Structure 1
Amino acid sequence: MILGIQAELSDLQSSNLTSQPIWQVLYGLLLGLGQGAVREVDRDELEVQPLVQGAAQQLRLATLPQADHAVRLQVCLETLGVEEDTLEGVPAHLRLPVAVTRYWLRRASPEPTVLKALLMVMVQGELMRQNGKAGRQKVTNHHPQPLDGVVAHSFNQWQACLKDASQLNLLLCKPLPEPHYAWLYQGRLVHRWQKELQEREPEEILQDPRFRRLYRRLLGAVTQSDPGANRRAGGPEAQLRASMEHLHLNTQEEKELGGAAGLDQGSDGSWVEVKYGRRKQ
């Protein structure tokens, strides 16, 4: 297996290593057990063992399209280390990117500090998509600055995870809806947000309350605690989780409206606003 190579810092581990466990599950579904190791060609040659465990033991390659949807979904979520309940409230087409982002946040090395910038690009892409803007988001920068190599490496790792998780989701006959890939990521834009968010918070930038709520929803799903998960205490994930708790307790819009409102996607693909009112004691 010849892996794709990105421009990245050679003194850091290959971006592909972050998503290697996803490929192990792919190899297991494609080859089964007992077929020996797969030789991967990256910067170095590696021998990777196919992996078949958990719900994947119920699947066979020849009958994958006929397999129960719940089992195929479980394999995808088990591989990414995400509970299905965590994705409740996330728009259907953003559930795969959110699950990937949770996976990446735990496995990336060095520890990533770019989560807010990634989520801002997703939210801004969603805003543009819903407003019927064609093409990708335009970035104008009259004073370009050199890219931060470590930041770029983190983004590379996220892209590798998204690509490989998308391959797994496709092999499993799409138990998670495919995202609108063109709106999820743009390199120059995400680097711009990374710099801008060092001085301002996303809440200060997003003008539309609907998209502030979408940002909170994605951030909450990505940083929500999982019992028994291997978490990095005190790192960016913990800090963002604390930030989410602060937002939840201090959201003026919820106080004024008596409930929270958000965007959800209906069964026909259209967007509807859903309000969750507080129950009076």
Structure 2
Amino acid sequence: MGVQGLVSLLETHQRIYREIHFRKSRLLIDGCNLIYLLYFGSGLDQNHGGEYAAFEALVEKFIQTLRDCEIKPYVVLDGGTDPTDKKLDTLTSRAEDCIRRAHQAAVSGRPERILPQMIKLVFRQTLIRLEVAVAQCFGEADQEIAALASEWECPVLSNDSDFYIFDLPAGLLPISHFQWKAVKRSGSQSYIPCKSYKTSSFCIFFDIQRDLLPTFAALAGNDYVKLERINTTISWSQFCPAGCEPPSRLEGLLCWLKSFDQPHKALQAALGLMGELSKERQAEVLEGLYLGMKEYQIPHSSLKRFFIHGTTPTAEKVEGLVPAWMWLMLTQALLTPDVQDVLLLNRMPLSFTVDHADLPSARLTSRPLRQVMYGLLLGKGKRRQVMERDRDGLQLALTPGPSDLHQAHPAADARLAGQDQELMMSLSLNVKAVFLADPSQRLQVLLEALGVTEASLSRLPPQLRLPVAATCYWLQRAEPPPDERLLKALLLGLSDGGTARQRAALPIQSQRFRQRLDVGVVHSFNQWQGCLKDSIHLNQLLSFPLPEPQMARLYEGTLVHHLVHRMRTGGKLKPFLKSDPSSVRQYRAMLAVAHQFQGREASKSSETQKEPTAPRQKRRQPLDDLTANLQQLFLQYDDDDQEEAALEVRSLVGAQKDFHLDDLVSVRTRYRAKERNNRCNNPELARKEECRGHDLL
């Protein structure tokens, strides 16, 4: 981001920096930059979908270090795309590069600096839990951070080179030189060794006027000024001082700027260096340069009142375009900034994950959930299409999608009746009705979109209801359909959220496993994360009818991939089982719910073809059929011996009884008697069942 090549220039001339001992101060943090520093700088796995528990621990340690040094952090996050689309070319170029790198990572197994798709959610959830002040902007955060830093006279923590241009009273602390892991003590006080940058030092070193820094940034080329407009005709390196090896484009430009004292004179002289230009072309180039310079004007802070009093900030960029009642939730990061892009630009930018280009985009699986969001946001009858920025192979593609709720879910009219259907209609007419509706009604809308029932989730802990509902949705819609091993691995990670401890139990060989990618497994778990991500965003828009799950407790990429690999190669899973009964019950409960919905779409389609006019009724499934199906399902794998598979069948039947699902299965006495006889005839087997957590697997 920012001025291309400027950070490298500063690294070449580190005398511009000043060594300081940083403590006892406010600190404004560029949240997106910090995410990159912590994740990529700590060697966390990038290719298996994310190591969220380990990342959460890093964030906790970072914040605790600041507090030990009496530093008060204020984290500011980027919001939606600027409605003027002035950075569209830059964003498009970055997206195309990300798609290529994501494919290369899938092919080679090497890290290519691709962030896991739920990492920003984990970051935000962790900061809120730690009671750190967090604000999400209505656009890019740079100017908002600079404005507040100027008013509070506190430094900014970032690696974004734009902050080398802003004239900040307390300067910039580059993240790359912020040694938070090497805290020092002076007497009874702790401090963080780091380097401080100020524009005054830069201007003294290169002997230019401070007012010319924005001009330098614009001529050098930033996110708003395209280099080809200038550098096709001007080679700045020709102005480098003698002895500058190799010739530096930016140093040459700085040397050229020494002779000017006002920005407009420098810009007119730059036009002269470009040769003969028409008046129209000159006006176009000047307009772009002035636009680039304008980005470094520091406005009044709109976040000051929010951080101090919690009041809604002013939002001129979105006033009249985004409903005012959304502003506070967006600023609190309780709504994804994607809603801005849908409302302002009718566009949804999708993140890109490590995936093979020959496979379809993993985000297609959860597209119907996003379409429900579009319908809620845009309203019924407006007929506006939302263009999704997704990938098609290695190409960036814009795909239109309906914004009508019933186009997104054509079966909704048949499944909803009476009050629920009226609610869907009212919500599609005005999304503000979400906040006026009864919580049970908002819950019904969410569950209808996910294709699950409230009764099926009622016995699960509240924090697991949304992840399990999203998992059921994934089981019904993912292509190819996930096999049982993938489901087991996911649910083991979900149960009790002990992924960090489970990961610590992995054998040393797992470090080598991290480099081996099963592209099919990666793709399937990408689909699952996409389903969960869009479920969480829809839950936000519906004002949280279900508790938002803590993502760091739900998924640990290297763990679930290792579990799948272990099952496929005949390894036992006993080392990964937990002994506490609550975790066992959670796993059994989730597996029972998931099996209710697994493959439901196919069965519905078959029933519809056979009985096109028959009304939908609950059907009782004999336990004989259920047990036979489960035995076929589990015995086709070699992950354990047949004895363990039989135990799992009885465990699932027990889970059905625990969940009072008698309307779905009929429990027959002979199976209960058989289980009692087995326990009496084989006490050792019964003891092993108890020790392993009631035959969890």
TM-score normalised by the chain length of structure 2: 0.32
Aligned to 2:425: 57
Please list, as runs of the form range in 1=range in 2, the aligned pairs for 1:82-121 lying within 5 A after superposition. Answer: 82-113=452-483, 114-121=486-493
Task: Pick the aligned partner of 1:163 from 530, 533, 538.
Answer: 533
Task: Pick the aligned partner of 1:230 from 601, 612, 618.
Answer: 601
Aligned to 2:545: 175
Deviations 1:248-270 (A, max 9, x none): 45799x968xxxxxxxxxxxxxx
Whole-angstrom distance in 2 between the partners of 1:21 and 1:241: 32
Whole-angstrom distance in 2 between the partners of 1:250 and 1:17: 36
Deviations 1:76-129 (A, max 9, x none): 00000001111021111100000000000111112212111111111262486x
Whole-angstrom distance in 2 between the partners of 1:99 and 1:209: 23
Alpha-carbon shift at residue 225 of structure 1 (Å): 4.9
**Matched residue SS, 2:601:** coil
Retained in 2: the 8 A contact 1:127–1:211? no
Check 1:91–1:242 CA distance in 2 against 1; reply closer, same or farther (3 A cut): farther
Residue range with higher mean Cα deviation, 158-167 or 28-37: 28-37
Whole-angstrom distance in 2 between the partners of 1:93 and 1:176: 8
Q: Say yes or no: does 1:23 pair with 2:370.
A: yes
Structure number, greater radius of gyration: 2
Aligned to 2:650: 246
Q: Say yes or no: does 1:212 pair with 2:584.
A: yes
Residue range with higher mean Cα deviation, 11-20 or 54-63: 54-63
Aligned to 1:32: 379
Aligned to 1:268: none
Alpha-carbon shift at residue 180 of structure 1 (Å): 1.6
Check 1:61–1:240 CA distance in 2 against 1; reply closer, same or farther (3 A cut): farther
RMSD of aligned alpha carbons:
3.0
Check 1:167–1:174 CA distance in 2 against 1; reply closer, same or farther (3 A cut): same
Deviations 1:202-242 (A, max 9, x none): 6783433332222111100111159x941369xxxx65996
Alpha-carbon shift at residue 185 of structure 1 (Å): 0.5
Deviations 1:7-64 (A, max 9, x none): 1011111011000000100000000123321111101211100132444223231232
Whole-angstrom distance in 2 between the partners of 1:240 and 1:57: 44
Q: Say yes or no: does 1:6 pair with 2:374.
A: no
Letter of the 1:49 counterpart: P
Check 1:89–1:182 CA distance in 2 against 1; reply closer, same or farther (3 A cut): same
Retained in 2: the 8 A contact 1:224–1:241? no
Check 1:42–1:248 CA distance in 2 against 1; reply closer, same or farther (3 A cut): closer
Whole-angstrom distance in 2 between the partners of 1:225 and 1:158: 15
Unaligned runs of 5+ in 1: 257-281
Residue range with higher mean Cα deviation, 200-209 or 109-118: 200-209
Check 1:86–1:202 CA distance in 2 against 1; reply closer, same or farther (3 A cut): farther
Whole-angstrom distance in 1 between the partners of 2:566 and 2:496: 14
Aligned to 2:390: 42
Deviations 1:159-190 (A, max 9, x none): 11111110000000000111121110111111
**Matched residue SS, 2:602:** coil
Total equivalences in the alignment: 244
Check 1:151–1:63 CA distance in 2 against 1; reply closer, same or farther (3 A cut): same
Whole-angstrom distance in 1 between the partners of 2:441 and 2:592: 26
Retained in 2: the 8 A contact 1:104–1:157? yes
Alpha-carbon shift at residue 65 of structure 1 (Å): 1.5
**Matched residue SS, 1:224:** helix
TM-score normalised by the chain length of structure 1: 0.76
Check 1:202–1:93 CA distance in 2 against 1; reply closer, same or farther (3 A cut): farther
Letter of the 2:529 counterpart: Q
**Matched residue SS, 1:61:** coil
Deviations 1:117-170 (A, max 9, x none): 111111262486xxxx7xx95455243251100000001000111111100000
Please list, as runs of the form range in 1=range in 2, the aligned pairs for 1:128-143 lying within 5 A after superposition. Answer: 137-138=503-504, 141-143=510-512
**Matched residue SS, 1:143:** helix
Whole-angstrom distance in 1 between the partners of 2:373 and 2:456: 23
Letter of the 1:40 counterpart: E
Whole-angstrom distance in 2 between the partners of 1:248 and 1:229: 18
Check 1:182–1:241 CA distance in 2 against 1; reply closer, same or farther (3 A cut): farther
Q: Percent identity?
A: 40
Structure number with the bigger relative contact order (C-alpha 8 A, sep ≥ 6) is 1
Unaligned runs of 5+ in 2: 1-347, 392-396, 407-420, 607-628, 635-647, 656-671, 680-697
Q: Say yes or no: does 1:146 pair with 2:503.
A: no
Letter of the 2:593 counterpart: A
Whole-angstrom distance in 1 between the partners of 2:654 and 2:377: 49
